[in-house]
């Protein structure tokens, strides 16, 4: 009963209620309960607590790709070097899942291994074609290394899949107007905020959520 109530609270984003409903004794939790608890802790950015819950999950329910992948993400946020070991293990256990490679690619990119990130994003796209987030992130990584044409192609594909190509094409084709006298305006500040593709994608993703156009 507690799990059903906790799941309802989770869907309502009442994360405090979820943690209240789930036992403090992680060893007593079912597999579904322990996964939900760890996920909530991650959403609350309590990465050390979440990592400890994933430790119990691995101990009680065996070696599963999801457990290692999520623990690896927690370790990354905690700056643990063993983060990559967990992400590698997740791929070893679930090598046909594109998400596993995309997850590792994200971490590789953040720690400066952009070439490795491109390899993993490319593999993720091969296994799970048509994922706009993967294609966009692949483009961003390629852009960092100066692979402009490849990056643009992936951006275009990502935008087409997301259904926003008519918006982003217009945005990126527009030439900035020469500034005669600097002025602080709402429009000007917005243009500064959206001065890079990464910032624009993040902004538009949030806008889509607000307008309920994105699942």
Count Cβ atoms below 10 Å from residue 77 Cβ, excluding itself.
Answer: 16
> What's the confidence (pLDDT) of residue 23?
84
Instruction: Please compute the mean of the pLDDT values over residues 5-23 and round it to a whole number.
Output: 94
Q: Give every CB contact of residue 67 below 8 A, 6+ residues apart in sequence.
A: 54, 57, 58, 61
For 61-82, write each residue's pLDDT tens digit: 999 999 999 999 999 999 998 9
In the 3-class helix/strand/coil scheme, how is the chain assigned residue by residue? CHHHHHHHHHHCCCHHHHHHHCCCCHHHCCHHHHHHHHHHHHHCCCHHHHHHHHHHHHHHHCCCHHHHHHHHHHHHHCCCCCHHHHHHHHHHHCCCCHHHHHHHHHHHHHCCCHHHHHHHHHHHHHHCCCCHHHHHHHHHHHHHCCCHHHHHHHHHHHHHHHCCHHHHHHHHHCCCCCCCCCCCCHHHHHHHHCCCHHHHHHHHHHHHHHCCCCC
Count of domains for the chain:
1
User: Is residue 198 domain-resident?
Assistant: no
* Alpha carbon distances (Å) from 70 to 84, 93, 135, 142, 181: 11, 13, 22, 26, 50
- Of the chain, the percentage scoring pLDDT greater than 70 comes to 76
> What's the confidence (pLDDT) of residue 163?
86
- Supply the CATH number for residue 20's domain: 1.25.40.10
User: Is residue 199 domain-resident?
Assistant: no
Higher-pLDDT residue of 214, 166: 166
User: Is residue 206 domain-resident?
Assistant: no
Nearest to 205 by CA among 164, 170, 172, 151: 164
User: Is residue 186 domain-resident?
Assistant: no
Instruction: Please compute the mean of the pLDDT values over residues 5-21 and round it to a whole number.
Output: 94
Q: What is the mean pLDDT of the chain?
A: 85
> What's the confidence (pLDDT) of residue 57?
97
User: Is residue 17 domain-resident?
Assistant: yes
> What's the confidence (pLDDT) of residue 215?
42
> What's the confidence (pLDDT) of residue 180?
56
User: Is residue 194 domain-resident?
Assistant: no
> What's the confidence (pLDDT) of residue 24?
85
The confidence band for 18, taking pLDDT boundaries of 50, 70 and 90, is very high
* Cβ-contact 57, 34 below 8 angstroms: yes
Distance CA 167, CA 164 (A): 5
What are 99's two structure tokens?
A: 């998400």
> What's the confidence (pLDDT) of residue 117?
97
For 90-99, write each residue's pLDDT tens digit: 999 999 999 9
User: Is residue 188 domain-resident?
Assistant: no
Give the lowest-confidence range in 56-65, 158-167, 190-199: 190-199
Full residue range of the structural domain in which residue 149 is found: 2-177
């Amino acid at each position: 009963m507690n799990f059903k109530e906790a799941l309802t609270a989770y869907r309502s984003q009442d994360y405090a209620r979820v943690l209240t409903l789930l036992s403090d004794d992680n060893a007593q939790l079912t597999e579904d309960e322990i996964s939900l608890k760890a996920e909530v802790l991650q959403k609350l950015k309590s990465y050390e607590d979440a990592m400890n819950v994933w430790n119990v999950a691995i101990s009680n329910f065996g070696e599963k790709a999801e457990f290692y992948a999520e623990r690896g993400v927690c370790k990354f946020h905690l700056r643990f070097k063993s983060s990559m070991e967990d992400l590698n293990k997740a791929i070893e256990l679930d090598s046909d899942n594109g998400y596993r490679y995309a997850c590792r690619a994200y971490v590789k990119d953040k720690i400066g291994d952009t070439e490795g990130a491109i390899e993993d994003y490319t593999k993720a796209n091969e296994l799970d074609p048509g994922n706009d987030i993967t294609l966009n992130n692949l483009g961003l990584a390629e852009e960092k290394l100066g692979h402009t044409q490849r990056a643009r192609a992936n951006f275009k594909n990502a935008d087409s899949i997301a259904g926003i190509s008519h918006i982003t094409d217009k945005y990126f084709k527009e030439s900035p107007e020469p500034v005669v006298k600097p002025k602080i305006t709402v429009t000007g500040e917005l243009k500064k905020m959206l001065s890079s593709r990464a910032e624009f994608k993040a902004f538009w993703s949030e806008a889509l959520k607000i307008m309920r156009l994105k699942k």
